[in-house]
Amino acid sequence: MNTLLSILTYLTAINSALPFLRPNHRLVALVLWPFKLVAGALSPILALMSILGALRGLRLRDGKLTGAGIIGALLAGRYIHLVTREHSAFASAFGPDWPYRIPANIKPLMLSRRWFPVMNIPEDYAWQPNIVYGQNPETGESLIADIWQPRSGMQRTGLAVIYVHGGAWRLGEKDMGTRAFFKRLASQGHVIMDIEYTITPTTPLDWMVQDVKRAILWMKKYAGNYGVSPQRIVLIGGSAGGHLSLLAAYTPNLPEFQPDDQDEETAVRGVVAFYPPVDLRALYDQTQVSYGQLFSSNRPSVADRGNIAGMHLIGMAPRDESGRYVPYLAHVVGGSPDELPEAYRLLSPNTHIGPHCPPTLLLQGLDDFFQVAPGARQLYESLRRAGITSILVEYPHTQHAFDIILPRVSPVAQSAVYDVERFLALMV
């Protein structure tokens, strides 16, 4: 038993250190990505286990065991502190009196602090799965969404959230690690529309934006049925969904993205994006530099074959008709930036920044495996220069997809929920 406890203490210390590791080799980074995600989410449990291990070491007078436990506890505690510390971004964007602008009926329903050992999940909601909100014009397949809303008799805020899932424009679906988040928002009086949209290779990227706008038009059309104001719709998305949300929010009524030649208003009240790609040309160049032969060689080296195998796991190593590996973004967009420069410009949210853009909340992990953190900061700075109310919250030592991994216990996921709840309350 003592041996087992010692092993667990050493393993706990190692896992507590994982969020702080920054490997340069892309294959190592890819392999560690899910482990770092889970280690960050479980940091409170790792801290507790490390403390118990240190106490055990003291009792046994085992210096190594005690040291491992102390180091593990310090590392896990440091991570929790860094990702849950207070910031002044809301005061900078909305003014120092911003807390007093939150409706009094919503304030007690929001998280009172950035992290709890277990985040409370209220049960004051109703769920309607698989509502049809449109059709893909190419395939004729129905576009479906789940509706989360306050239970009957509850006071409603009049605000609707349209959530766009991530998945590199190729994977993913609705109801993917978001239930705790949606239940909290519904319990505060908001209505949530969790959509599925047509993904590549079935549809091109610009049509995905049209699907998001179909959801906007549907919610505006049926707003009265859900106690929603058509002027209070906020888009939220993660990764590729964050990109689509920003693009839809920043291009109201732009003909290239308007679905089915409709002329109805598609403007929204605000947009929230978790770790979004914002400049597709820059993302293409970063990907090429990072993976080199992964995308260009028909006979990759042994190391590159490992990279390719890993990328297959996340659906990002496509081949052309001849069997050659092609750049992933070229596969999604339809060609390289040199071949389709206007498409890359049009499909990048940072192209469309202007006075028409709605208030924006950007949530970004600084150790993001997909290297989108610099783009989020550049977008934020461009929005501020354009006079747009915008907030950028950066979480140190935090990876891509941090918000959907064990959100009830994850300090960084809860910290993000804390910020989103307040942003939405200010949009009411």
CATH code assigned at 234: 3.40.50.1820
- Per-residue tokens: 207: 């049509």
Residues 6 or more apart whose Cβ sits within 8 Å of residue 251? 209, 257, 352
Supply φ then ψ for residue 373, to 5 degrees: -60, -45
Please state the three-class secondary structure of 173-238 as a single string. Answer: CCCCCCHHHHHHHHHCCCEEEEECCCCCCCCCHHHHHHHHHHHHHHHHHCHHHHCCCCCCEEEEEE
What is d(CA 331, CA 337) in angstroms, rounded to the nearest whole number?
A: 11
Strand 360-365 and strand 233-238: the pairing is unpaired
Query: Strands of 125-135's sheet, edge to edge?
Result: 125-135, 142-150, 191-195, 160-164, 233-238, 270-274, 360-365, 390-395
What is d(CA 58, CA 70) in angstroms, rounded to the nearest whole number?
A: 11
Among 103-107, 108-112, 135-139, the least confident range: 135-139
28 CA to centre of own chain: 23
Asked if residue 416 has pLDDT above 60, the reply is: yes
From 297, 324, 341, the end of a domain falls on 341
Q: What is the pLDDT of residues 291-319, one digit of tens each?
A: 544 444 444 443 444 444 444 444 455 55
Q: Are residues 136 and 148 in the same domain?
A: yes
Q: Are residues 182 and 129 in the same domain?
A: yes
Q: What is the pLDDT of residue 4?
A: 79
Residue 216: closest CA among 286, 271, 152, 167: 271
Q: Are residues 149 and 37 in the same domain?
A: no
Count structural domains, the chain: 3
Q: Which helix (H) or strand (E) holds 372?
A: none
pLDDT above 90 coverage of the chain, percent:
81
Q: What is the pLDDT of residue 307?
A: 42
- Per-residue tokens: 180: 């705790």
Overall average pLDDT of the 411-419 stretch:
98
Report DSSP letters for 47-107, one per residue: HHHHHHHHHHHHHHT-HHHHHHHHHHHHHHHHHHHHHH---SHHHHHH-TTGGGGS-TTTG
Q: Are residues 48 and 180 in the same domain?
A: no
Q: Are residues 128 and 52 in the same domain?
A: no
* Boundaries of domain holding 297: 281-341
Q: Are residues 238 and 165 in the same domain?
A: yes
Q: Are residues 197 and 236 in the same domain?
A: yes
Q: Are residues 232 and 308 in the same domain?
A: no
Q: Are residues 95 and 201 in the same domain?
A: yes
Q: Are residues 167 and 102 in the same domain?
A: yes
Q: What is the pLDDT of residues 23-69, one digit of tens each?
A: 988 788 889 999 999 999 999 999 999 999 999 999 999 999 999 99
From 341, 358, 379, the end of a domain falls on 341
Q: Are residues 254 and 197 in the same domain?
A: yes
Q: What is the pLDDT of residues 221-252, one digit of tens each?
A: 999 999 999 999 999 999 999 999 999 999 99
Band of pLDDT at residue 287, cut at 50, 70 and 90 = confident
From 297, 325, 341, the end of a domain falls on 341
Task: Yes or no: say if 222 and 132 are a contact pair by the CB < 8 Å rule.
Answer: no
Task: Yes or no: say if 277 and 205 are a contact pair by the CB < 8 Å rule.
Answer: no
Tokens 């003291």 correspond to what residue? 58
Q: What is the pLDDT of residues 31-43, one digit of tens each?
A: 999 999 999 999 9
Q: Are residues 229 and 365 in the same domain?
A: yes
